[in-house]
Structures are given as structure tokens and as C-alpha cells.
Amino acid sequence: MEENQEIKKELDVYRYYWAVPAFFLFILINYFTKRIHLESLDMNLMISIVSFLFGFLITITFSMLLTRISALKENLASETGRLVGLFLLSKHLGKEFHEKIKKKIDDYTINTLRNYTNYDVSREQLYGMYDDIENIEIKNQSQEAIANSFLYILGELEPIREKLEYLTGRRVEKSLKISNYVLGILLMALLFLNRGETFTNAIFIVLSTIIVFIILIIEDYDHLKIGDYTYNISNSEQLFDLLQKDRYYPQYVLNRTPLIPGKKYRIGIFDKKTKQEKIYLMQYNPSFKRKIASLLKKVNSNLRSQFSTPQFVFYY
């Protein structure tokens, strides 16, 4: 790729998975602190009030997240449709122009899939399509009409991309998130202080685990980690197939992407030292996972690369 941009890499695990160790942590807390509880407070009233407030704010948070995801899915579908239209129309506007548009769409799709929550990386490819307009071949009225349709679709794509940049970069308001955290921790503390019998001990463990699960799954939704295959990856697959390019996947999405035996894929391996990515062309076979593990070990153990660009293609 032309740009020399570092990739921001997040932890490759769903946050709500941490609810499992939290469950066992609450068991240990309950076991080693059996004598800690208060008798003078009206625990039932306080638990009821905090539970109501916590549930109310969680409902608002989920409503905001689902509204955002719905808009995201709609705009991703519109984006894919516009890119397909641009590719098909460019076939009739000269071979050189078609090849340039094909490469721009491929680069655009790779960048947006690699940096799904940082959609502004796609600007250069989209603006580059405007620069390529000078290569359009118009020899008759039919091509002139096709060129007008191409420019119209290109003009429609920009506001869609801007919406996607906003939606993928948007997060739940910090004040709302902090309120959820505070009420959740307070509710767990009240459940902890209300222990005493076997039933209340079990209530503390189970409900505290559920509270942790709810908070963490909100974080996963907020960072677009849940449902990313349905929202974005499947659309990218359609574009790669249309372009007759090997499908590209960042290494961290492989565990939730169905791969076809014998098919070649472009796999992006993240280099922790350079904060950039190297792309390897690999065939999916029984030794695929072993090769990925070997490449990860190799890439992350090497010194900083002598190259300045963030993407390379290797055959493996």
C-alpha cells in the first residue's frame, strides 16, 4: 500500500470471555470472606433501587448499540453495492481505467477490513478513484452514459463512507459507561454484603457473574467485535470474489471465518515491532494453522523491517 500507517491492534479475544474467570473469582471471594456482612442496612431495599437503576441504564446502552449496529449494517450493504457498481461499469470505460479501479477497490476493501474500527484509512483509495477519472475512455454515446453513471455512483459512495467512518469510530458515551460500571460494582458489593446462607451465597456468585458478563458484552458490541463476520467480512468476500482476487483476512479473524480446503488466501500477519502488517499468500490445508503459528513466531521475533511500506505479499 502507498501509505505508511501504523495499525492499532487490540486484544484478540471477546471481552465477555472474562466472565468465566470472574465466576471462579466470586466463588473464591465468597469462600474466604464468609464473615464479612452488615446487619444494620436494609439490603433488600438498596439492592432493589440499585438493580432498577442498573437495569434502566443497561437498557438504554443496549438500545443505543443496536441502533448503531442496524445503521452500520445498512450502510455496509450500500457501500458494497456501490463498489460492485463501480467495478462493473469501469469494464466499459477502457482497460487501463478498469485495472486502476480494480486495484483501488481491492486496496479499499483490504484497508477497511484490516482497520474496521478506523474507517478513515479508506479515504486515499476513494479519492484516488477521482484522480483516475482522467483515464476514462469515451468513444461513443454509450460510454458517455456509462461514465455519467459511474460518476453518479462514485458521488453516492463518499457520504456512505463518511457515515461508516462515523459509525465505526463512535463509542458509547463515557458518562453512560462509567455509570454502568459504578452501578454494577455497587450492586455486586451489596450482593456480597447480603450473603450469609447458601442461597444468598449462590445469588451473589451467579448475579455478580452475570453483571460482569453484561458489562463485557457491551464492550464487545461497542468495539464491533460481535457479529463482525455478518456485518463486514462477508461483504468483503463478495468483493474479492468479484474482483477475482484471493480473499484477504487479517490473522485475528481466521478463527471466525469459514475457509475452503485447497483455496488460496491472503493472510495478514501483524508485526508487533513495526505496528504494521505483512501479507502472505497461503493455501488452506491440514498444515495451515501450523504455518500461521510459525509465521507469527517468526514475524514477532524479527527486528524492525528494513522496508517502509506496511504491506508485502509473500508466497508460502
Give Cβ neighbours of residue 275 (< 8 Å, ≥ 6 apart).
6, 7, 8, 9
Strands 264-271 and 276-283: antiparallel
Q: Is the pLDDT of residue 205 over 80?
A: yes
Between these two residues, 179 and 30, which has the higher pLDDT value?
A: 179
What phi and psi, each to the nearest 5 degrees, are found at residue 267?
-110, 125
DSSP string, 53-114: HHHHHHHHHHHHHHHHHHHHHHHHHHHHHHHHHHHHHHTTS-HHHHHHHHHHHHHHHHHHHH
In the block, which residue shows the cell 449494517? Answer: 73
Between these two residues, 84 and 224, which has the higher pLDDT value?
A: 84
pLDDT for 59 equals: 94
Q: Is the pLDDT of residue 71 over 80?
A: yes
Between these two residues, 5 and 197, which has the higher pLDDT value?
A: 197
Cβ proximity of 86 and 154 under 8 Å: yes
* DSSP helix/strand/coil, 279: strand
How much helix, strand and coil, in percent to the nearest 5, is found in the chain? 65, 5, 25
Reading the block at residue 305, the C-alpha cell is: 523491517
Q: Closest Cα to residue 187, out of 54, 19, 42?
A: 54
CA angle 310, 312, 316 (to 5 degrees): 140
